[in-house]
Amino acid sequence: MAAPPEHVVAVVAHPDDAELMCYGTLLRYREQGAAVTVVVVTTGINGVSLADRGLGVSLTGRERTDESAASYAGSGIDLVTLGFTDGALVPDRELVSHIEAELARLGCTVLITHSLHAGPDHQDHLAAAQAAVNAATRIGTCATILHGQPHAPRGDFHPTVLVDITDLLPDKVKALAAHRSQAGRWYLGAEFTRHRAAEAGWSLAPVRAAAGRRFEAFETSLISLLAPEGDR
């Protein structure tokens, strides 16, 4: 029996979150023939620093959605925005139901989302992760759940999975640069992106890191291996 198509779904809180956590991984899955969809829960309209807000800077949901679209242009990766307001996400029935409907519609086989225990990470990240994992328990096709590395410092993140993105790192840097409304944020810069890609390797695969390989790192709450031939 032919294997069902792989469909990788990244469920993230804000525009730019998937690019930060797993852009190279999503491109790698596309290279290998998987369908890939990024589900962005919020519009990101509140993604303005207090200092900028004091100067009268504001955003529309359209600006950040357009930036996300630019990040994935030509990649073959689909983008869905659920339209929630950022800053006050809660993993309630409404959020879980919206995410579950998308996972079911897409036939999700691999779910990528935020860490479930990342210390001082953004509150929306934790809510999106909790809702996504809750929803995935009722998606029979979902065999793997990966949790991407947060950018917040002093977190409780302990990766066990690496994806080699060495050749895709320039694409990731370019994708993050598309988020022009967020310009100046250190975690979107090329220096931090390259540093984190190296750091992931040194922590788990130092020989490969020493050889110049660069990675995205993940925790996992579900990995299903060696399914019977008829179930693949």
Q: Sign of dihedral through CA atoms 173, 176, 181, 183?
A: negative
Paired sense of beta strands 110-113 and 7-12, if any: parallel
Residues 73, 29: Cα–Cα separation, whole Å: 16
Paired sense of beta strands 215-223 and 144-148, if any: antiparallel
Residue 115: closest CA among 155, 161, 172: 155
Mean pLDDT of 197-226: 95
Residues 111, 221: Cα–Cα separation, whole Å: 10
Q: Residue 190's pLDDT is what? A: 96
Residues 165, 226: Cα–Cα separation, whole Å: 25
Residues 112, 120: Cα–Cα separation, whole Å: 20
pTM of the model: 0.93
Q: Give me the percent of the chain exceeding a pLDDT of 90.
A: 75
pLDDT beyond 90 at 50: no
pLDDT digits (tens, 9 = 90+) for 167-183: 999 999 999 999 988 88
Domains defined for the chain, CATH in brackets: 7-224 (3.40.50.10320)
pLDDT digits (tens, 9 = 90+) for 127-184: 999 999 999 999 999 999 999 999 887 778 999 999 999 999 999 999 999 998 888 8
Q: What angle do CA 177, 210, 222 make, to 5 degrees?
A: 70
Beta bridge partners of 40: 12, 81
pLDDT beyond 80 at 209: yes
